[in-house]
Amino acid sequence: MHFDSTDSALAEIQTPCLAVPLALAKNLDEQIAPRGYLRSALRHAKNEAGEVTHIAMPEGARAEQLIAFGVGDVVTLKELRKIGTAVGQAIKSCDITSAAVAPPEIEVAGVDSARATRAFAASIASELYRFRAHKKEEREKPAFESLTIQASEDISRTVALIEAFNVGQTFARELGNLPGNECTPDHLLAEAKRLSETHEIQCFHMDESEMEARGMGAFLSVSRGSAREGRLIRLDYLGADDPSSPAIILVGKGITFDTGGISLKKPDAMDEMKFDMCGAAAVFGALLAALEAKLPLNVIAIAAAAENMPSGKASRPGDVVTAMSGTTVEILNTDAEGRLVLCDALTYARELKPRAIIDVATLTGACVVALGERASGLFTPDDALADALIEAGEFSGDRVWRLPVWEDYREQLKTPLADLANVGGSAAGAITAAAFLSTFTEGMSWAHLDIAGTAWKTGKEKGRQAQSANTTARTACLSISKTSGRRAGSDSRASPRSSSVHRVKRRGKNIAFIARR
């Protein structure tokens, strides 16, 4: 989807659909329709947040359809996003390819007008997304292509940021919604390579033989159970003034399908375990958003990509493996595989001497029990990093809730047969999982986001929206820009420096998504 802006008067905008606040729609009566037409059509419209009135315009009007949306007494970002969601749903129901919208001119506490416009437009874009790959009905519908934002002032930078973040989010959502037979570790690698070819970024990867040479026994204990090899995939975006300065590293769990391994899961909703790679999708999406927005940051995204399958080569409960750090781990439950691939990925990230590490993972069912589907779990000993993630989550709508990651919880991971057990019992499961990861990031600025409850929607909503495949990408990008000391939205960016690693020249402004996009 492309975003644009215009300072033209609303009555002059020619579009299949024009969405405006209700009060403004009433004032447009004689400008875009015969006298009294709009006032009559809007006489029962409610000026409440989330309410919309859809009007077919008379022949000859420059706008073929009008959506008048209620605003009410909006004072919070949550209410503003509610309006955007309603507008997006109304536009989507029209089956059109483009529309124009006038954001409500309201004051939102603690947010300037540019950020309010971004939040409003992002909510609309989220509703306009369709996963079109496998349903003939969806493929036959026209794809929505362009949203024009009307404003009386120059908002070109704001619109550029809206588009950049939407590109990253859409990329993440498309990956997250693919079935496990398509989105394999090799597919994630192919997508990373494609990004490196279409953008000025570097791509590195390790196959299982290279991981074995690096001593990544924890990762391999998971990936070797599958006929499909695991991959450790890395993308580098070097946008800071000094490309050699420490990067923010995003590490994503990329289990492209999780059966539980020998500790086999129950069959109920096992199809949804294709979403167990949403952490990897989110970090790739965040890096792409940072790149498209030309944020002055060095960002590295690492995906720990593997399948967790039962086979004659799969790990057994009771096996002891040696992680890349040299730590031995007793595998008491093969369905606690995410922390095993992540611990080696975190050790690898540590070697890169980052400024900070944020890992994103659909890690524990315990986090779903604790927080439900409304918030992701945040674990970090770093207060500044926690504040950045919490603030970014509030703005993006992908809220996080901080939970403890005290050393006391490591007591539950003790075992007489190895340095660590990979599970710590039923009590505080999300916390002990984070405590396990924390042993591989000691002394680092590190945060862990457990998105198990927020990564996807189920039932009829499946495939429509997933936070980790949508807003978590934006949350991570916003937080890393804050962590770097510079707000997302800066127009400055250093020119890429030369490197001993081959770089591919960028071929165009926007990524050419695979056909199903």
Catalytic positions: 265, 339
* Residue type, position 67, single letter: I
| Interacting residues of 469 by C-beta distance below 8 A, sequence separation 6+ | 169, 172, 173, 175, 176, 177, 275, 278, 281, 282, 285, 455, 456
Query: Which residues lie below 8 Å from residue 431, measured CB to CB, with a gap of 6+?
Result: 366, 379, 403, 404, 405, 409
Write the single-letter amino acid at 47: N
Report the Cα 79 to chain-centroid distance in Å. 21
Q: Are the C-beta atoms of residues 429 and 139 closer than 8 Å to each other?
A: no
* DSSP assignment letter at 408: G
The SS3 call for residue 441 is coil
Q: Is 358 helix (H, G, I), strand (E, B) or coil?
A: strand
Spatial distance between the Cα atoms of 187 and 435, rounded to a whole number of angstroms: 31
> What end-to-end distance do the CA atoms of the chain give, in Å?
10
Percentages helix, strand, coil for the chain (3-state, rounded to 5) are: 40, 20, 45
